[in-house]
Structure 1
Amino acid sequence: MIATINLLEICNSFFSSGAEDVALIEYARLTGRPFRVFSLDTGRLNPETYRFFDAVEKHYDIRIEYMFPDSVEVQALVRSKGLFSFYEDGHQECCRVRKVRPLRRALKGLRAWITGQRKDQSPGTRAHVPVVQVDPSFEGMDGGAGSLVKWNPLANVEGQEIWNFLHTMNVPINSLHSQGYISIGCEPCTRPVLPGQHEREGRWWWEDAKAKECGLHKGNIQHESPVPNGNGNGASSIGSLNGTAREDIFGTSDIVSLRRPGVENLLRLENRKEPWLVVLYAPWCRFCQAMESSYVELARKLVGSGVKVGKFRADGEQKAFAERELQLGSFPTILFFPKHASKPIKYPSEKRDVESLFAFINALR
């Protein structure tokens, strides 16, 4: 990610640890214009990332200016909640201390910044990233809303194009990439992805797939917005402001429509006659609408297999129950209720095609 004071004269480069970041530095170098590079050192990075930073400094004959979190804030967080509290209550608090606030300090001295965001990096949060925008989260040199321009020149560039460029230019690459890491963050929060998994699935893998942003690009996450549902109850969208209201979805006899008593019964049973796959949905949610055809096809394929397929409308007055008892973080949430276990298993992926869902079921039944 690159931040610029003047897009035509001097670049202040915000350098992370991935392929897009070094690609943007290489682009900046090729322009012949002067640039500075700064990076966030959270104190939790992989050793390979630090060696990568050193290689970049030597390759480009630059000094990276590191931004560190406030030591008092880090100490208070660790003392009160421990070193790994994010596994229990989410990554946002730790990222806010270690990443967002240091970046906020750096951006206060700029008028614009350039990022390495790509639309295909995360369908859940980056699919609609524009090339140029007013930064919705941070303030620039003049202060106030609208004081910072955010330029995403790689928004429409695919990942393979980035890698082709890096190999052609023979620039330093983080060695973690060769170990299966595609999207790289802090060591406790990043792991390699498996073949076929999306690149962002290695980040905060224990959390909901629709909120995989650390806060540096918080504006990508569309927040809850009241939407009326067919029953006149207040419904809220998690992750979508653009959903089109529909009376209902997943309408097929192959999918069992569950009411709350049925779901509560599933939660109580430790020995079910058959396993269940259940989607928690809201008919106005565009992500639910987008997976409708694949979920219906999956249900058809599972007829006679011994796996029941269900749906539970979890918006409106059922939302609090679903958040408390069913791990609902965003719509859709997909749960697998095993045959001989009481606790459901949450589907962790952003990929909701038939093959991916079928592989998930086969691995668990």
Structure 2
Amino acid sequence: MAFAVTSSTAIRSSLSTPLEQPKAAQVGAFQPSDRHHLPPAAVNFSRRRCAVKPLNAEPKRNDSIVPSAATFFASEVVEKIDVEDYGKLAKDLGNASPLEIMDKALEKFGNDIAIAFSGAEDVALIEYASLTGRPFRVFSLDTGRLNPETYRFFDEVEKHYKIRIEYMFPDASEVQDLVRNKGLFSFYEDGHQECCRVRKVRPLRRALKGLRAWITGQRKDQSPGTRSEVPVVQVDPVFEGLDGGIGSLVKWNPVANVKGTDVWSFLRAMNVPVNWLHAKGYISIGCEPCTRAVLPGQHEREGRWWWEDAKAKECGLHKGNIKEQNSNGGVHANATVQEADLFNTNCVVNLSRPGIENLLKLKSRNEPWLVVLYAPWCRFCQGMEQSYVEVAEKLTGSGVKIAKFRADGEEKPFAQQELQLGSFPTILFFPKNSSRPVKLSI
């Protein structure tokens, strides 16, 4: 769910020796035909025929991975598919092998799907894709803070599979502002979420807006406390796809039910490239300042953001797949971790009940206010988090106050009666010279 504000008078103001690898099969690349924009639908993904032809030159790169992601040549045509019940499909594929799941994903989405490659053991995804004999695409997020071994690994993978990985980079001005204002290692002091949002989540969001589906290496055993509900396929609860809006993107997790030890057995059997950091005790690999080796017997996530609480060890790329444990010991799937709130930035004011009551009482305000009524567990609130934060950052210094008010639980009756809450999220605009807020549609 995207949220935008239009300016108006109202809102004015790893460097090691590469492994010897067997030659990959003869490959080429294919170029997608011009796409036609279709009306958005929750899970209605129409396909159209695409021209397949090899390219002699390296593909042109831009902010979307659609025109030029990594491809494996195969002469076949993607046909139209009908509306799919992905909940049912997930159950049907519950006992399927990763290869079968990968084949189904590539068959359904053709050149509108891509593998998200982190530079760790999810190279297994690329191997499974190559074994299907179908075209496939690969993209990766280059945060600018990866280990030298990871960059060397990227190069080995490209050469082994004869592909070109489509790298997504963070916005240079955003990184510059973050580093100039807070330093190179601010995440050690105030948590990794802000840095991950700039260097990982926003580039991922740009990449996914050029796709209708993506493939990840999530496994249930990666973090039993937060990822145990990961299905093999789902409608992505957080990110948007090509057609826009929540429900416009499908997420495939072919190795969701596979144990990490089995993934490594597969990699060794297939003799594929692996990141040299694994030999140094690294299991889960991310950015260099936030990743370290683990001791024998430690869980793989212990090597990520080790200075933080275990429940916070998610960067935001898979927010829709983490679960919350409540006070009764139960869990709420597809929710944020209990301690993880939304819209966490200095640009957004956190209003308490007295605070928003005072805002309601003011007949004349010094500044206009924009307030989101939200619930952290709501997937639509999660989906618009990034857009709202971006608006808040852009309006900093403009004279408009940006705020949030958690309106679920005991606050919901008050919000429904006094704040026009109908569903989450609800956006209210409090004009400078008016006693009542205006409810905005999003």
| Aligned counterparts, 1:264-303, within 5 A | none
Show structure 1 runs of 4+ deviating over 4 A.
Answer: none
Matching residue's letter, 2:151: Y
Match of 1:132 among 230, 233, 237: 233
Query: Match for residue 13 of structure 1?
Result: 115
Q: CA RMSD in A?
A: 2.5
Deviation for aligned residue 1:134: 1.4
State the secondary structure of the residue aligned to 2:167: strand
Query: Match for residue 156 of structure 1?
Result: 257
Q: Deviations over 1:174-224 (max 9, x none)?
A: 000010000000000000001111001100001111121111001133469
State the secondary structure of the residue aligned to 1:139: coil
In structure 1, what is the Cα distance between the partners aligned to 2:162 and 2:302? 34
Q: Does the CA contact (< 8 Å) of 1:125 and 1:212 recur in 2? A: no
In structure 2, what is the Cα distance between the partners aligned to 1:27 and 1:193? 28
State the secondary structure of the residue aligned to 1:150: strand
Match of 2:150 among 49, 61, 79: 49
Matching residue's letter, 2:224: P
The answer to whether 1:217 aligns with 2:318 is yes
Query: Match for residue 218 of structure 2?
Result: 117
Matching residue's letter, 2:114: N
Query: Match for residue 139 of structure 2?
Result: 38
In structure 1, what is the Cα distance between the partners aligned to 2:242 and 2:282? 35
% identical equivalent positions: 78
TM-score, scaled to structure 2: 0.50
Deviation for aligned residue 1:55: 0.3
State the secondary structure of the residue aligned to 1:177: helix
State the secondary structure of the residue aligned to 1:9: helix
Q: Does the CA contact (< 8 Å) of 1:7 and 1:112 recur in 2? A: no
Query: Match for residue 266 of structure 2?
Result: 165
Query: Match for residue 434 of structure 2?
Result: none
State the secondary structure of the residue aligned to 2:289: helix
In structure 2, what is the Cα distance between the partners aligned to 1:42 and 1:172? 22
Match of 2:205 among 87, 104, 111: 104
Q: Does the CA contact (< 8 Å) of 2:114 and 2:213 recur in 1? A: no
Q: Does the CA contact (< 8 Å) of 1:131 and 1:155 recur in 2? A: yes
Q: Does the CA contact (< 8 Å) of 2:226 and 2:324 recur in 1? A: no
Deviation for aligned residue 1:113: 1.0
Matching residue's letter, 2:163: I
Q: Deviations over 1:309-341 (max 9, x none)?
A: xxxxxxxxxxxxxxxxxxxxxxxxxxxxxxxxx
Matching residue's letter, 1:220: N
State the secondary structure of the residue aligned to 2:282: coil
Uncovered stretches (5+) of structure 2, i.e. residues with no partner = 1-101, 329-336, 341-442
Matching residue's letter, 2:118: S
Q: Deviations over 1:154-193 (max 9, x none)?
A: 1110111111111111000000001000000000000000
Query: Match for residue 82 of structure 1?
Result: 183
Matching residue's letter, 1:140: G
Q: Deviations over 1:285-315 (max 9, x none)?
A: xxxxxxxxxxxxxxxxxxxxxxxxxxxxxxx
TM-score, scaled to structure 1: 0.60
Q: Does the CA contact (< 8 Å) of 2:227 and 2:323 recur in 1? A: no
State the secondary structure of the residue aligned to 2:115: strand
State the secondary structure of the residue aligned to 1:188: helix
| Aligned counterparts, 1:197-276, within 5 A | 197-222=298-323, 238=338
Deviation for aligned residue 1:7: 3.7
The answer to whether 1:58 aligns with 2:159 is yes
Structure having the higher strand fraction is: 1
Q: Does the CA contact (< 8 Å) of 1:38 and 1:65 recur in 2? A: yes
State the secondary structure of the residue aligned to 2:234: strand
Deviation for aligned residue 1:69: 0.1
Assess, with a 3 A threshold, how the Cα gap between structure 1 residues 139 and 5 changes in structure 2: closer, same or farther.
farther
The answer to whether 1:185 aligns with 2:286 is yes
Assess, with a 3 A threshold, how the Cα gap between structure 1 residues 145 and 6 changes in structure 2: closer, same or farther.
farther
Uncovered stretches (5+) of structure 1, i.e. residues with no partner = 229-236, 241-365
